[in-house]
Structures are given as structure tokens and as C-alpha cells.
Structure 1
Amino acid sequence: MAVLQAIAVLAILILVHELGHFLAARGQGIHVNRFSIGFGPILWKYKGKETEYALRALPLGGFVGFPDDDPESSYPPNDPNLLSNRPVLDRAIVISAGVIANLIFAYFLLVVQLGLIGTPDFIAKPGVLVPQVVAEVNSVANQAGIQSGDLVLAVNGQKIDGSPQGIETLREFIQTHPQQEISLTIQRGESTSETKLTPTLNAEGKGQIGVQLSPNGEVVRRKIGNIFQVFSQAAEEFQKITILTVQGFGQLISNFQETANKVSGPVAIVAIGADIAKSDVTNLFQFAILISINLAVINILPLPALDGGQLAFLLIEGLRGKPLPTKIQDGVMQTGLMLLLGLGIFLILRDTANLLGIEKFFQ
């Protein structure tokens, strides 16, 4: 059920994106002959007066089709309501509308979350949670007897709590003390004990003991009664998330070699969403907000086969006074599409391997 909920969230965000393109075109009287959510075999379709609406088997995608690209189209090539015959500004509105729709939807979700569900406040409890210990028999944590579900209350006598800061304190202490004995205060159930262990040195020159670390505490939601404050705080949160997202993509581009392994494909995104839904289904709002803004930022990048790539062609056309030759545009778009498909397949295989515990083949 949690996986289906995560997939449903992604499908809704894709629907919003494609609906933005569709409404921007139809609102200007531009012909649209196909509106599809998903790829692959058609599960359901409806033929309207002008547009065929379809739901396909793979919901992680979608497209809006225009008769300009349909060799069987009944519209004459000089029809003024074909997308390709419209001025640059009209086409730019249609192309950018998907990104705008995702951003507006993210802000709408923030308003709903803050007004109806409430803003989450995390109240940390003592100790950092160890949700999982590396299964290797010779891992430091295994040899020291640490088990999944244990709480680390202190490191070398320094108390820590389950806040993100507490997790970072513990992680940094372990990483900066490779091959040095440290003492962890472990709580298991009602009993507390001192465990001494020596972090091993990893390939990056940092200490590691072979555990995952998670926050320890509870989330309390605080509703905002004032409607004006809801819209104001939603705008602040929207701005903060958008800036952080853009900065994240900036770091990915400027420092690709070190950050590329953090890029997630649809499989990993669905897995993250499923975990979120299991813990608290209302957290899917935050998941949808983050993914919606990420979709907008990704699509606006000036890369072939993305909305940003098509906008780049329009910018060149506006500056030149005429479009680039069709062969050049088609070549760039087809190359970009193949690269994106290749990247997508790689991410799906890698993320699936990670979930199955065979990630070593993709390292």
C-alpha cells in the first residue's frame, strides 16, 4: 500500500505538469491531439472532439502531443493554430507551463499542509537510534555486539540526542577517530551499558563502524490558525525549499564526481516515498512538495529533451529571427533523449540493485 501511495503521488505530479502544458495550449486556442499519463501500453483512452486522452501502463511519465508532429494530421501546414506556427512567446508559454504548474502546485500543497495538517516540530529524545547494523560478520559494530534498535546515548562520555545535530555529532566523532578506541553508551530496552570499539579506516580516510543512524524523537504538528499567516509562511517555506533545490543542482553540476552518487532514479524515489508513507501518511505532503519543486527545476534546465532545452531553442530563434535548421534541432533532441533514457535505465538498475543488496556492481 505504501508503494502504491508513493507511485500515486508521482503520477499526480506528472499529471499536474502535463496539465500545465495542455491548459496553456488550449487556453491560447492551440491544437492538441494527445494527452497521455504514463508510457507503454494503453490501459484506458477516451477520444474527445479534438484530443485523445489516455492512461498508460507505466505511470512515471507522460506527454502532451501536438498535430505538428503527426504525419496523419488533418490540419493544413499553414493552420495558424498549430503550435509551430505561433509566435515565440506563445510557444514559450506552452513549454514553460509545466514547470509553472509544478511550482504552483507545490505552493498549494504547502498551504494545505500548514493550514489543515500543521507544521511539523521535531522533539528530540535522548540518544541516536541505530535502525540497522551492517550484516557483515567482521564489521566493527557486529563484533562489539551492537544490535538494530539500540540507542547511542553518549560517545566518550559526551551526551547526544536524537536530533539531526546529535546524529551529525556522533557521525563526525566516528569519522574523525579512525583506528582509535572510543566508548559508546548503549541503551537496549531498559538496560544501559558501555561498549568500547575501534572504528576502521575506509577508502576516504574516515572512520566507520558499520551502522546506520536515525533521529530519535517524535513529530508534533502545530496548526496555524491565521489564514494570512498560513499563506505567508507557505511562501517562506516555498522560497527556502526552492533555493535549497537550486543550490543542490548547482553543487551537482559544479562537483559532479563527488555528488553523482546522490542522484536518485524513480525506483529510489518510490522507495523513499513508501518509507515516508509507512511512518506517517501525512508526510507524503512534504514528499510531494519536494518532488514537485525538483521536477520543476530539472525540467527548466537547458538540456535537450527537457522543457529548458526547448526554451533554449526558442531563445536562439528569437535572437536570430528564425529557428535553427530542423535537422540540427532533431539531432540535438534525439541525442539528448537517448542520453536521458540511458541515464534513467542506469538509475533504475542501480537503485534496484541497492534495494536488493547487490550495489557493489554499480560502485
Structure 2
Amino acid sequence: MPVLAAIAVLAVLILVHELGHFIAARSQGIYANRFSLGFGPIIWKYQGSQTEYAVRAFPLGGFVGFPDDDPDSDIPPNDPNLLRNRPILDRAIVISAGVIANLIFAYLVLVLQLGIVGIPEKINYQPGVLVQPVNEQSLAYQAGIRERDIILAVGGKELPASENSSTLLRKEIQNHPNQPIELTVQHENQQRTLKLTPEKGTDGKGLIGIQLGANGTPIYRRPRNPLEIFSIAAKRFQQLVVGTLSGFGQLITNFQQTAGQVSGPVNIVKVGAKLAANDSANLLSFAAIISINLAIINILPLPALDGGQLAFLLIEGVRGKPLPSRIQEGVMQTGLVLLLGLGLFLIVKETTQLEWVQKLFQ
């Protein structure tokens, strides 16, 4: 059930994104003849008065199709309601509407979560720091640290029940590049001592490849009024957007160290399923985070993404005329093939790393 819930969340986010494009087009009177979830062969479809709605075999996204380049369309090429015949601003609204829809949806999900779960008032801290290896190639994982292990001490110094414990652990790791450190780790109900040597990062600081989290349980209270919910949701939304942008920035500026953290659909579902198994309300946080990530990824100026199409519009605005159709189509088709190829590669890679799959080959 948690896995199905996580998959359902991803499906909803794709639906929200494509609905943004679709509604932006139809509200301006622009023709949209296809609305599809997924790519590839059609599994199910329904023909409406103007639009074909379909679910396709490969759930790696979706698309809204326009009759502009459909050879079977009976709409005259000079019809003003074809997307390509609209002013640049109208087209920009349609192209960017998916990103805007995901951002609005993320904010509303945070509002819903605060309204249902409550406002976090404080955290009941326990000794140590909750950790998770960034991937199976990290030093931490190779040394035996697993997800949801608790590091109780570093270098013989106990990590207290405090919000500062994560900072203390991070500093100790960063201050010992290429120097061995000793960690006291609690795995489930057992404690053990591990010794490992942090790698020296590009900034000269030590790295072992773990994510740090507070070892504590949040205590919630009921909202005082609706305005408080919207205000706190806005602050949390801003934090998530800034954090996501920072993560993408690190991926670009420090690709070698962060590329291993890039996840595909299988790992995303895996994370969502674990969150749902711990607390079903966590699915709301999961939905907000993934929706923001989906929005930011799509606005990147890369072929086959919304940002790539907006880049073409910018070039058109500067030149006073669009790039030749063959150039745009070639770039977009190449980008789509690369994007689908990357998605399939990540699916295969992450599927083979699942425990139950590995057992089949033992």
C-alpha cells in the first residue's frame, strides 16, 4: 500500500503539471487536441469533443498535444487559435503554466498538511543524530552505516539531546579530511563502533556521504487561525524552494560529489513508500517536495523541457522571428530521446539495487 500511495502521488503531480498547460491553453481559446499521461503505446483513451485523453505505457511524464504540426488536423494553418499563431506572451503563458501549477499545488499541499496535522511547536530531542547514507557508494554505507541509524558519539564525544548535535557531528567530520575518526552508531537496538576516514572534498573539508537529521519527535499544536496556517505554509514553501535551488546549484558546481545523489522514479517511489509507512501524513510533505522539484527541473533551459521551449521563445523575441522548424524539432526530439534514455537508465539501475531484486540473483 505505501508503494501504491507513492506512485499515486507521482501520478497526481504529473496530472497537475499537464493540467496547468491544458487549462492555460483552453482558457485562451488555443486548440489542444491531446492530453496524455505517460509516453509510448496507448493503454486507455477517450475522445472528447476537441481533445483525446490518454494514458500511455511509460509513466515518465506526460504531455499536452497541439494540432499545429498534426498532419491529420483539418484546422487551417493560418487559424489564429493555433498555438504557433499566438503572440509570444500567450505561448509563454501556456508553456510556463505547468511549472506554475506545480508550485501552487505544493503550497496548497503544505497548507493542507498544517491544517490536518497541526503546527510543529517544538521537537522532543533524543541523544545522537539520525543519519542516512546518500547512496550505496558512499563511505558511510561502505563502513556499515544504514538508513535511520543513530550516531551517538564522534571521537569519544557524546552527541547530546539537542538541536546542535547535527552541527557538532558535521564539524567533526569536516575538520578531519583524510584523518580517521571513530563513530558510535546505534543500528536498531544494537550499538557498535566504526572507524572511517573522511574524504577530502573540493573545498578541503571532510566528507563521508551522509545526510543528517534531528533525532527527535515533533510536537504539534492546533492552528490559532487560518491566517497562521497560510503564513507558516508560505515560509515552509520558501525554504523548500530555496533548498531545492541550492541543491541544483551544488549539482552544477560540484557535479562529481553530488551526481550520485540524483534519483530516478524507482528511488523516488521508494522514499515516498518509506515515508508513507512511517506516517501517512508524510505523503503530503513528499508531494510538496517532489512537486517543487518537478517545477524547477522543468523550467531548466534544456531540450524537451518547458525551459527549453521558453528559451526558443526568448530567441524568437530577440531575432524577431522563430528559429527554423527543423532546428527546433531536431533539438526537441534529441532532448526527448536523451531524457527518456536517462529515465530508463535510472529505472533499470535503481530496480536492480532493490533488495528483493538482488535476492533473485543470489
Which of the five TM-score ranges fits, normalised by the shorter chain? Answer: 0.7 to 0.9
Q: Matches of 1:170 and 1:46 in 2, distance apart?
A: 56
> Which letter does structure 2 place at the counterpart of 1:255?
N
> Which letter does structure 2 place at the counterpart of 1:262?
Q
The answer to whether the Cα contact below 8 Å between 1:161 and 1:216 also exists between their aligned partners in 2 is no
- Count of residue correspondences: 346
Distance 1:185 1:29, change over 3 A: closer
SS of the residue 1:126 aligns to: strand
**1:55-70 equivalence runs, <5 A:** 55-70=55-70
What do residues 279-309 of structure 1 show as CA deviations (whole Å, max 9, x unaligned)? Answer: 1110111111111111111111111110011
The answer to whether the Cα contact below 8 Å between 1:178 and 1:199 also exists between their aligned partners in 2 is no
The residue number in structure 1 matching 2:125 is: 124
What do residues 154-213 of structure 1 show as CA deviations (whole Å, max 9, x unaligned)? Answer: 445533146675355446546738775847496986xx98x6x562446659697x9998
The answer to whether the Cα contact below 8 Å between 2:60 and 2:340 also exists between their aligned partners in 1 is no
**1:26-175 equivalence runs, <5 A:** 26-120=26-120, 121-128=122-129, 153-161=152-160, 165-167=164-166, 169-170=168-169, 173=172
The answer to whether the Cα contact below 8 Å between 2:149 and 2:185 also exists between their aligned partners in 1 is no
Distance 1:350 1:357, change over 3 A: farther
Q: CA RMSD in A?
A: 3.5
The residue number in structure 1 matching 2:337 is: 338
Mapped pair 1:348 → 2:347: yes
Offset at 1:30?
A: 0.8
> Which letter does structure 1 place at the counterpart of 2:333?
Q
The residue number in structure 2 matching 1:241 is: 240
Offset at 1:54?
A: 1.5
The residue number in structure 2 matching 1:225 is: 224
SS of the residue 2:239 aligns to: helix
Q: Matches of 2:156 and 2:356 in 1, distance apart?
A: 35
When normalised by structure 1's length, the TM-score is: 0.82
Offset at 1:58?
A: 3.7
The answer to whether the Cα contact below 8 Å between 1:174 and 1:199 also exists between their aligned partners in 2 is no
The residue number in structure 2 matching 1:318 is: 317
Gaps of 5+ in 2: none
Q: Matches of 2:269 and 2:149 in 1, distance apart?
A: 28
Distance 1:183 1:298, change over 3 A: closer
> Which letter does structure 2 place at the counterpart of 1:123?
N
When normalised by structure 2's length, the TM-score is: 0.83
SS of the residue 1:127 aligns to: strand
The answer to whether the Cα contact below 8 Å between 1:129 and 1:162 also exists between their aligned partners in 2 is no
Q: Matches of 1:76 and 1:319 in 2, distance apart?
A: 28
The residue number in structure 2 matching 1:259 is: 258
Distance 1:168 1:53, change over 3 A: same
> Which has more radius of gyration?
1
Gaps of 5+ in 1: none
The residue number in structure 2 matching 1:8 is: 8
Distance 1:123 1:91, change over 3 A: same
Q: Matches of 1:213 and 1:147 in 2, distance apart?
A: 12
Offset at 1:222?
A: 2.9
Q: Identity rate of aligned residues, in percent? A: 60
Q: Matches of 2:241 and 2:281 in 1, distance apart?
A: 21
